[in-house]
Structure 1
Amino acid sequence: MKALRQTLRQQRRNIAPFDRIRLAKNILSQVQKVIHFHSRQKVAIYLPNDGEIDPKYIQDFVNLLKTNTYLPILAGKSLQFAKIGKNFRKNRFGILEPVSTQILKAKQMNIIFMPLVGFDKHKNRMGMGGGFYDRTLAFKKNQQKFKNPKIYGLAFDCQRLEVGKISVQDWDVPLDKIITPSKVY
């Protein structure tokens, strides 16, 4: 699994800068096919790291609708979500996080977009291996009554495993959809 994760991470890092911009714009059009945003929603995105697809155009679009946007912040071994403001600091992984803003739990979010390392045709996902999103969203796995948040994985098409299946653990939280620049799974 470690070797596969490294291979997939390298594939996404190898995408040329011009292609990254084009593909990030394309993912917005795919997102718009399946999600109808409105101003009262709380939407979590992420800041791209390690070659992840950039949700910048999704963020720009939801900001035009006056939707509240949040970023994940580390809270021990889980995540909380901080409203995007003007002040940021780097967490222990070197990723910027908002400071001095409203902080919400995952249960309070309407939509969470998360980055992926890889995925298969069954919508099984592979993350970076830290389990932060799975611990944060464990309540969705154990109780079917939670309609929100909707969880959408964002990835480049090259991150899909064409052959084989990603092994699923008991603690893995399934995604509602996986969205790439060319397709919605």
Structure 2
Amino acid sequence: MTDKATLRRQLRRRRMAVPAAERERAERLVAARLRPLLRRGMRLAAYVALGSELSLAPLISLAQARGVAVYLPVVPRRGRRMRFAALADPQGVWRRNRYGIREYHARKLISARALDMVLLPLVGFDAQGGRLGQGGGYYDTTFAFRAHRQQWRKPRLWGVGFECQRVAAIPREPHDAPLDGVISEAALYRA
């Protein structure tokens, strides 16, 4: 098995090689696959695509049209536990955090525990719920509380990526937050 750093490099190259037309098609297909999971009044955390990540723009529009409250992650200045800002107005105030990631500016933030479903960006994934992220540990730290629950697993964690990012097995460590499923343009995998 390959180490995580090598696997990240390989999978980022694959993701960057996805042609623009395929990328747009994948974004629409992911939104269509998630449509049945969207319920009026639910709290959904999404992300703003960075670099070659699969964009959730079509999904965010669909979710808001269906009465879903959409939230975006806010990276803390210290520590690794993210909070989430309600995307009340797509024309609102945006800023770049210390990593260059666009964040929506909101006065009130909610904790991860208040969310119903979270869509996480992927560098790589396997069909068993293994996720390879950027390597900063922000999502793992933010959702570590789920590991201590016996039954109730809210929020549900769903990875989002292109099918070319799927591998047979992602190397796992004890602190890795497992996914409940993964959505790509080709399939919806439940872990």
Query: If the TM-score is normalised by the length of the shorter chain, which range does it land in?
Result: over 0.9
1:176 aligned to 171, 175, 180, which one? Answer: 180
1:82 aligned to 80, 85, 89, which one? Answer: 85
Partner of 2:9: 6
Partner of 1:71: 72
- 1:183 & 1:159 partners in 2: Cα distance? 12
- 1:26 & 1:38 partners in 2: Cα distance? 18
Moved over 6 A (4+): none
TM-score by length of 1: 0.93
1:155 aligned to 146, 157, 161, which one? Answer: 161
1:19 aligned to 6, 14, 22, which one? Answer: 22
- Percent of matched pairs sharing the same residue: 29
Deviations, residues 123-174 of structure 1 (Å, cap 9, x unaligned)? 211111001000000000122343311111001000001x4x2111111111
The reply to whether residue 52 of structure 1 matches residue 53 of structure 2 is yes
TM-score by length of 2: 0.90
Three-state SS of the structure 2 residue aligned to 1:78 is: coil
Deviations, residues 49-90 of structure 1 (Å, cap 9, x unaligned)? 121111111111111012211100112312111111400110
Partner of 2:120: 114
- 1:149 & 1:56 partners in 2: Cα distance? 21
Corresponding residue pairs, total? 181
Query: Could you tell me whether the CA contact under 8 Å between 2:127 and 2:182 is conserved in 1?
Result: no
The reply to whether residue 144 of structure 1 matches residue 145 of structure 2 is no
Query: Could you tell me whether the CA contact under 8 Å between 1:9 and 1:50 is conserved in 2?
Result: no
Three-state SS of the structure 1 residue aligned to 2:75 is: strand
Query: Could you tell me whether the CA contact under 8 Å between 1:30 and 1:182 is conserved in 2?
Result: no
- 1:59 & 1:101 partners in 2: Cα distance? 21
**Structure 1: gaps spanning 5 or more residues:** none
Question: Superposition RMSD on alpha carbons, in Å?
Answer: 1.3
- 1:70 & 1:174 partners in 2: Cα distance? 21
Q: What amino acid is aligned across from residue 17 of structure 2 in structure 1?
A: N
- 2:186 & 2:173 partners in 1: Cα distance? 28
Q: What amino acid is aligned across from residue 184 of structure 2 in structure 1?
A: T
